[in-house]
Amino acid sequence: MKIAIIGGGPGGYVAAIKAAQMGAEVVLIEKEYIGGTCLNTGCIPTKVLLHSTEIYHQLRNEAEDLGLEINDLKVNWRNLLTRKELVATQLVEGVKNILRTMNVEVVRGYAKFTSTKTIEVSLTAGGKRSISFDKAIVATGSKSIIIPVPGHDLEGVITSREAMSLEEIPESICIIGGGVIGVEFANIYSNLGTQITIIEMLPELVANMDQEIVNSLEEALLTKGVKVYKSAKVLRIDRSGKELQVTAQLGDDPFQVIAEKVIMATGRKPSGDGLGLEEIGVKVDRGAIQVDRLFKTDVDNIYAIGDCTGGVQLAHVASASGLMAAELIMGERMAMDFRTIPYCVYTNPELASVGLTERDAVMKGYKIKVGKFPMYGNGKSVITGNVRGMVKIIADENTGEVLGVHIAGNSATELIASGAVAMRLEATVQELITTIYAHPTVGEAIHEAAESVFGRAIHIP
């Protein structure tokens, strides 16, 4: 079986390794970086910046409380950017090594379908190469959306990609878009003392998550001096001397934000265009390659996975789809449980969610019971000085089944794995209660939230 995979991100490279493990002859075509957006310009570099800036912010503001004395704490921005590159390189080199070991052939260049059996690659090194295949997997990812307001093309108006490699730490940034990427950049730069303004069109920040846990983040951002405008629409951007002036509207009232940089964090568009897919019979809708539940396109031997399908844009979803597509192609019918996708925001507090929010559960007609436990009642959170946030559990009142777990707080993005496993195993709240959590850990807050579904949490009055 010869499989051609276009795109070396967490969708494509994971599919390549899995298919090779199962005995396929695999060619992986990548036009830019192995590791894709995630390793090079997305998940990994942003988390490196979040990690260091968070330590800096905590030491600067809480050293005394922690019993530490620090006299000359400084950010070395150059070194921090170098560390970001080194971490990404280390992970990318690791992936390249595995691909080599698994005999996956990596071809550098831009791929385009010429038929349902052949791809033409415009090679990065020059020239062209035709690659034939039995099955193909398209994993071409997504790109930033720039909202076409007047002034969107001015110097200083940037996307997440440039925002993670700025020459200097700006004095002020206006972030258009208060979704995951917007709030993560707000966290990075507000930790460094940059004046941040977020302008979000929807009435809520990170609108796809449970708003009670998002509120913990919003409070933390406001405490750091971040200004947040919600239900506000950006009208235009102008240059005003060395700075940019963003004009927006809140209801009928226009307002202006002056900032050194403007980050467009207004979502990402699937990259399914320009691949010659429509010409060979694959449906593509505004860049999103149309697939069925098994990631098959309208052409029987062509699959598409990850961001380019217009579904949930997360690295672990791309990888899970890649595993599934490779196994299906190799004759094993593996079905991932896409009800249990964890959603994470790596801010302070961290936010993490799996399953239904309270609002979604009610809208779906469930009769629910909700348990909540605040982090200020959790010993480990008090030890680390991270008492903002809570664990919230949504359960089916009739069966006790856990329908959703939502966490704001320290280690929320690690803890959510236990919520995902609970949901995957269709656990009940009673089963969470009868599980023993180590002390002192933040995980104990899950136990307490489960107890609180029945009004019986121990460490709250």
Catalytic residues: 439
Reported as half-sphere exposure (CB side, CA atoms, 13 A), residue 377 has a value of 17
- Regarding 38 and contact with ligand FAD (CB under 6 A), the answer is yes
Which of 315, 320, 352, 457 touches ligand FAD (CB under 6 A)? 315
- Of residues 294 through 313, those in contact with ligand FAD by CB under 6 A are 306-308, 313
- CB-based contact 410:350 (threshold 8 Å): yes
**From the CB of 5, what's the least distance to ligand FAD, in Å?**
9
- Regarding 181 and contact with ligand FAD (CB under 6 A), the answer is yes
User: Which residue carries 């934000």 as its tokens?
Assistant: 257
Which of 174, 220, 314, 427 touches ligand FAD (CB under 6 A)? 314
- CB-based contact 393:453 (threshold 8 Å): yes
What are 27's two structure tokens? 């060619």
Q: Which is nearer to ligand FAD, 423 or 453 (CB)?
A: 423
Burial 81-102 (b: 16+ CB within 10 A, else e): bebbeebbeebbeebbeebeee
Beta-strand (E) ranges in 135-225?
Answer: 135-138, 142-144, 157-158, 172-176, 195-199
**From the CB of 456, what's the least distance to ligand FAD, in Å?**
35
- Find the part of the chain contacting ligand FAD (CB under 6 A) among 30-38, 229-237, 240-248, 324-332: 30-38
**From the CB of 320, what's the least distance to ligand FAD, in Å?**
11
Q: Which amino acid, 213?
A: I
Which of 80, 83, 110, 276 touches ligand FAD (CB under 6 A)? 110
The 3-state secondary structure of 271-334, one letter per residue: CCCCCCCHHHCCCEECCEECCCCCCECCCCCEEECHHHHCCCCCHHHHHHHHHHHHHHHCCCCC
Q: Which is nearer to ligand FAD, 120 or 431 (CB)?
A: 120
- Regarding 140 and contact with ligand FAD (CB under 6 A), the answer is yes
Which residues make beta-bridge pairs with 396? 368
- Of residues 236 through 295, those in contact with ligand FAD by CB under 6 A are 271, 275
- CB-based contact 315:7 (threshold 8 Å): no
Q: Which is nearer to ligand FAD, 218 or 307 (CB)?
A: 307
- Find the part of the chain contacting ligand FAD (CB under 6 A) among 139-147, 189-197, 253-261, 281-289: 139-147
Residues that bind ligand FAD (CB under 6 A): 6-12, 29-33, 36-38, 42-43, 46, 110-111, 139-142, 160, 181, 271, 275, 306-308, 313-316, 318
